[in-house]
Structure 1
Amino acid sequence: MTTDNTQHDETDAEDEVGVRTAATLIERDDVILLDVREDDEWDAGHAPDARHVPLGTVDSSAPSAGAWQADIPEGTTILTVCRSGRRSARAAQILRSAGWTVRNVNGGMEAWAQAGLPVEDSRGQAGTIA
């Protein structure tokens, strides 16, 4: 059975990006993939080059916000991702309000995995999307 993943490959929304486009963009030095899921979801499976910052920590007013933002160079584009796209859309709003250039990954890690893109667990083995 073949699954049509084209809905997540391209998007017309200026603030979103499809999973295949996201996978290409994160190869650049000026783009990072920020996974905003909870620890157990991250541990089960994530994109190999992603950074993990749970949604509750993304808010720039949170006490730990400065720690993860400090090593991101000015001018970096942040791609936000979660399981399906809802939490990462919220994270994108928060980061945009703080002045970052942000695009949400359409369809989240579910679409990422469905597109056959790599997913690894916290031990570096093949992961699953929880």
Structure 2
Amino acid sequence: MPTVGVEDLKDGDFVLDVREDDEWQAGHAAGALHIPMSELVARYGELTEAAPQDARVHVICRSGGRSAQVTMYLAQQGVDAVNVDGGMQVWQAAGREVVTDGGEPGFVV
């Protein structure tokens, strides 16, 4: 399965966060699209509308398990998707910005 490290992501890369609502509300990557894994199939159209055409989709969760499953699903649909290794835990540990919906500093639960 295609995987990238947090350090490989650049500003402006398209990030899909598949964590649950409470995890998202505590803190997420600025600019990420939030579609919980449990809702992805039903909300797939939102992803295709939001992602720039031919953009790679960087899928992230808390630690990498859920995002790995979603990455495999998206790849089967023909989407250029990669799993972000270590997820939001590594994102935060690497000093990357974690925000709330209001733009305030957030944290990973």
Local SS of the residue matching 2:97: coil
Q: Residues 80-126 of structure 1, C-alpha deviation per residue, up to 9 Å, x if partnerless?
A: 00000000001101100100001100000000000011000122111
- 1:52 corresponds to 2:34: yes
Q: Which amino acid aligns with 2:20?
A: E
Local SS of the residue matching 1:70: helix
> Structure 1 stretches of 5 or more lacking a match?
1-13
Asked whether the 8 Å contact 1:119–1:127 carries over to 2, the reply is yes
TM-score under structure 1 length normalisation: 0.78
Q: Which amino acid aligns with 2:2?
A: D
Tell me: CA distance 1:67–1:50, structure 2 relative to 1, closer, same or farther (3 Å). Answer: closer
TM-score under structure 2 length normalisation: 0.91
Which one of 17, 20, 25 corresponds to residue 43 of structure 1?
25
% identical equivalent positions? 39
Q: Distance in 1 between matches of 2:6 and 2:50?
A: 25
Tell me the number of residue pairs that the alignment of Structure 1 and Structure 2 aligns: 109
Q: How does 1:1-130 map to 2 (within 5 A)?
A: 15-22=2-9, 24=10, 26-27=11-12, 31-59=13-41, 62=42, 64-130=43-109
Highest CA radius of gyration, 1 or 2? 1
Q: Which amino acid aligns with 1:65?
A: Y
- Cα distance, 1:75 vs structure 2: 1.1
Larger RCO (CA under 8 A, 6+ residues apart):
2
Q: Residues 14-62 of structure 1, C-alpha deviation per residue, up to 9 Å, x if partnerless?
A: 610000112x1x42xxx41000001110000001121111112223xx2
- Cα distance, 1:71 vs structure 2: 3.4
Local SS of the residue matching 2:59: strand
Alpha carbon RMSD of aligned pairs, Å? 1.4
Q: Distance in 1 between matches of 2:75 and 2:90?
A: 23
Q: Distance in 2 between matches of 1:121 and 1:51?
A: 13
Asked whether the 8 Å contact 1:92–1:104 carries over to 2, the reply is yes
